[in-house]
Amino acid sequence: MPIKIALAGNPNSGKTTLFNSLTGSSQYVGNWPGVTVEKKEGRLKGFKDVIITDLPGIYSLSPYTLEEVVSRNYILEERPDAIINLVDASNIERNLYLTTQVLELGIPVIVALNMIDLVNRDGDRIDADALSRALGCRMVGISALKEEGTETLAEQAVALARSGERCEKPIVFSPRVEMALKPLADIASWHYPAERVRWYSVKLLERDQKLLEEGKLTGEELAAAEEASAALEREYDDDCESIIANERYNFITELVDSSVIRGRVGMSVSDRIDSILTNRFLALPVFAAIMGVVYYVSVSWLGAIGTNWTREVLFGAVLMPGATAFLNSVGAAGWLTGLIVDGILGGVGSVLSFVPQMMLLFFFLAFLEDCGYMSRVAFIMDRIFRKFGLSGKSFIPLLISSGCGVPGIMASRTIENEKDRRMTIIVTTFIPCGAKLPIIALIGGALFPGSAWVAPAMYFLGVAMVVFSGLILKKTRLFLGDPSPFVMEMPRYHLPGLKSLLTHVWERSRAFIVKAGTVIFVACTVIWFLSNFGVAGSGIGLVSQEGSFLAAFGGLIDVLFVPLGFGNWQATVATLTGLAAKENVVGTLGVLLGSAGAAEKTPELLHGIANLFTSVSALSFLAFNLLCAPCVAAMGAIRREMGSWKWTLIALGYQTGLAYAVALVINQLGSVLVLGRPFSPGTAVAFVILAAAVWLVVRPEPGKKGKRPGAPAERETAASR
């Protein structure tokens, strides 16, 4: 049997850093509370038979949040052999609050005082021996970041787990509360092993709903417990949860007063930085400036240099001509050269050329996240986002989604409230990601040459749809309810470690490159085959595109897109392949209209596209492709983060339904207003959709007895359920 050691502690106390240092793995670390949502396991370095479990960061073992329940259940059901309770020594009062609860669980505990080096640097002194005596457990001072003291910690934790020596329970509560706990301990001892009685008796006093739901206790016992709680409450004129929380903190205050000497006076560096970054007048301009610099450097300036080099030199001038020359020299068939050069190198190349931009963007975002600024962004933006039924924390996923939707969706897990999190996941891919940029560039370049408004208009459309969705979804039954609380810790600023940043950039970039190497590789190959082969004579062979399998398939379903103005098979197929990866929309149009994806702006391609669309249907095509269900990688992320197929389908259904409605309105109204075509039934449908949209936004929030209105967006979500 391997030894199991659990790692428990407050969010942002350095648990993931410690986990990485103990196990030698490279999980992502952020200076942002709540980076770990699921628990993670790893083998302790230097010990073959010791497994470390990193639990989500929690402030308490209350039954209210997902992370707390995950941690509680793990400890109570899996019974690890020991718990390492990580305590941020620079924030010791609040961290010890969890410690007082962990000590009640009846499992050997060792407390690791993390960031002890920062405390010493600030001139504070912590008397670890005094703390250790008062809490009745071992204590080790460490610096997880510098890997100081972590080996001692590991050795002591393993020794503790092997010996199974439980700590003495500290005297946390007042004599009066202990008196109330006594009959509850008697009740608990009938049902639970001796070492866990303390935990259950405190939970009984608190009327912990998860414990009561377990249903182990008889009605009589419940009544006795209720009486003990009620008697205490009458005496204190407060509820038991508060009494317990108060006494825990009173105990800690006394303990800290006697064992911690504070040497720091005045403002710390972190305070000074913060006084500028969240200053009443400077905060918004500074925020805009930081984001401006990040985007300028990673998208326009350095990133664009890297991207152009990859596209034009590496692929355009070296790999593609090289491959052509090589294939010709070995006498490969013409179709094989076409497949490898135009299909695969062209398609994959157009995707890989985004890697430099992505890497720079990921680097900056990781830096901002890790140094503590992202929590301040949430703080600054909360007021605005709350109006749309989102929270300040939704801003981070939206921002990251402008690079790539997959990490954007994953970033949503820092939002504790489930409704907010789901809503953020649904709307976050409306923001055009890096892979959608080439679609905008291509269509814009073909139909609106020289005009600068297309790209900003598409970003604006994305943001507008986020706002619109927030406004209408928060009034639907699925999202109705009070806004989630925003009680959030603001971590201290610190300079992120370069290793951690680079690890993070590498992890995310690798995921992107792997996607290019697998999904997009296969998609390019398949598209090339399907668009070049078809039924020729009696068998299957090379045919012109109009006779290809792809044309036949696209022709079957392109009628769906007739109301949107792009009911031809090429546009239909491009949209479908965009579901594999959005870059494919460009790649497919490139393959179908006579040039490879890498050479994005050849005159023939632009000419071909200009023939395929009108100015109005081109915008409709853009809008649909930007807003509809995202690529499979992002769909997978949605599925993972939603944790249910029902919600995944609701999200994808809503996105596609909204995209269809928007594209239809653009096309139908555009046809009449811009192209001067006559009114048609489609125009009427467009007006109905507009009216419904206005009504959905302005209607009052339905009360409890509110009927379900049959508006398009809602019918969409209902149907996909």
Partner 1 sequence: MKSIPCGQMVKVLRLEGTGALRRRIMDMGITKGTTVCVRKVAPLGDPMEITVRGYELSLRKQEAENIIVE
Outline where 558-602 has alpha helix (H).
Answer: 569-578, 583-592
Question: Quick check: 61 and 98 in contact, CB under 8 A?
Answer: yes
Q: Please state the closest distance from residue 241 (CB atom) to partner 1, in A.
A: 6
Min dist. Cβ of residue 341 to partner 1 (A): 54
Residue (49 or 238) nearer to partner 1, CB: 238
CB of 365 to partner 1, least distance (A): 21
Ligand-binding annotation for 95, yes or no, is no
Residue 237 Ramachandran class (φ > 0 left, ψ -120 to 50 alpha, else beta)? left
Q: Give the position of tokens 């303990």.
A: 255
Question: Which is nearer to partner 1, 65 or 525 (by Cβ)?
Answer: 65
Nearer to partner 1, 98 or 659 (CB): 98
Closest by CA to 29, choosing from 111, 141, 113, 145, is: 145
- Strand-pair partners of 84: 7, 110
Is residue 114 marked as binding?
yes
Q: Is 608 in contact with 594 (CB distance < 8 Å)?
A: yes
Which is nearest to 107 in space by CA: 43, 52, 51, 163? 163
b/e 240-268 (16+ beta carbons within 10 angstroms → b): beebbbebbbebbeebeeebbeeeeeeee
35 annotated as belonging to a binding site for a ligand: yes
Cβ partners under 8 Å of residue 31, min gap 6: 12, 369, 370, 371, 372, 374, 375, 491, 493, 494, 496
Is residue 88 within 8 A of residue 115, CB to CB? The reply is: yes
Give the DSSP H/E element, type plus range, for residue 243: helix 240-259
Q: How far is the CB of 94 from partner 1 (least distance, A)?
A: 5
Quick one: 207 or 715, whose CB is closer to partner 1?
207
- 279 known ligand binder: no
Q: In the complex with partner 1, which residue's Cβ is closer, 256 or 304?
A: 256
DSSP 8-class letter at 36: -
Spatial CA neighbour of 299 closest among 349, 351, 345, 364: 364
Cβ neighbours, 10 Å, residue 229: 20
Terminal CA-to-CA distance of the chain, rounded, Å?
45
* Smallest separation (angstroms) from partner 1 to the CB of 251: 11
324 in a known ligand binding site: no
The Cα 132–Cα 168 span in angstroms is 11
Shortest distance, position 88 Cβ to partner 1, whole Å: 9
Nearer to partner 1, 379 or 569 (CB): 379
Nearer of residues 147 and 241 to partner 1, judged by Cβ: 241
For 343, which DSSP code? I
DSSP 3-state of 17: helix
Q: Is 427 annotated as a binding residue?
A: no
Assigned token pair, 417: 């409230």
The CA–CA distances, whole Å, from 36 to 51, 71, 110, 538 equal: 18, 11, 21, 59
What would the two tokens of residue 13 be?
């106390």
Encoded tokens for 399: 């921002």
Any binding-site annotation on 543?
no
CA-based radius of gyration for the chain: 30
Q: Is 117 annotated as a binding residue?
A: yes
Residue 118's contacts (CB-CB under 8 Å, 6 or more residues apart) are: 89, 90, 143
Interface residues toward partner 1, by CB under 8 A: 59-60, 62, 64-65, 91-94, 97, 238, 241-242, 245-246, 249-250, 274, 278-281, 283-284, 375, 379-380, 382-384, 386, 392, 483, 485-490, 492
> DSSP assignment, residue 168?
P
Q: How many CB atoms lie within 10 A of CB 657?
A: 21
CB-nearer residue toward partner 1: 384 or 514: 384
One-letter amino acid for residue 610 of the chain:
A
Q: How many CB atoms lie within 10 A of CB 300?
A: 11
Q: How far is the CB of 226 from partner 1 (least distance, A)?
A: 18
Instruction: Quote the least distance from Cβ 460 to partner 1, whole Å.
Output: 21
Ligand-binding site membership of 21 (annotated): yes
By beta-carbon proximity to partner 1, the closer residue of 65 and 545 is 65
Q: Is 588 annotated as a binding residue?
A: no
Beta carbon nearer to partner 1, 249 or 367 = 249
- Which residues make beta-bridge pairs with 8? 85
User: How far apart are CB 262 and partner 1 at their closest, in Å?
Assistant: 8
d(CA 341, CA 337): 6
CB atoms within 10 A of CB 526: 14
Identity of the residue, 381 or 574, whose beta carbon is nearer to partner 1 in the bound complex = 381
What's the closest the beta carbon of residue 424 comes to partner 1, in angstroms? 18
Written as six digits, the tokens of 564 are 């949107």
Tell whether 23 is in a known binding site: yes
Count of beta carbons in the 10 Å neighbourhood of residue 91: 18
- Taking the least distance from each CB to partner 1, the nearer of 64 and 679 is 64
Which residue lies nearer to partner 1 by CB, 424 or 595?
Answer: 424
24 belongs to an annotated ligand binding site: yes
37 is in an annotated binding site: yes
Angle 331-334-338 from CA coordinates, rounded to 5°? 120
Q: CB under 8 Å, gap of 24 or more: what pairs does 555-561 form?
A: 561/624
What is the nearest approach in angstroms of partner 1 to the Cβ of residue 62? 5
Contact of 469 with 430, CB cutoff 8 Å? yes
Residue whose entry in the numeric block shows the structure tokens 């467009």: 686
Alpha-carbon span 717 to 721, nearest angstrom: 6
Q: Which is nearer to partner 1, 286 or 511 (CB)?
A: 286
670 annotated as a binding-site residue? no
CB of 698 to partner 1, least distance (A): 23
In the complex with partner 1, the residue whose CB is nearer, 280 or 705, is 280
Minimum distance from residue 680 beta carbon to partner 1 (Å): 45
Q: Least distance from C-beta 244 to partner 1, angstroms?
A: 9
Please, what is the minimum distance in Å from the beta carbon of residue 180 to partner 1? 18
Binding site listing for Mg(2+): 20-21, 23-24
Binding site listing for GTP: 9-16, 34-38, 54-57, 114-117
Binding site listing: 9-16, 20-21, 23-24, 34-38, 54-57, 114-117
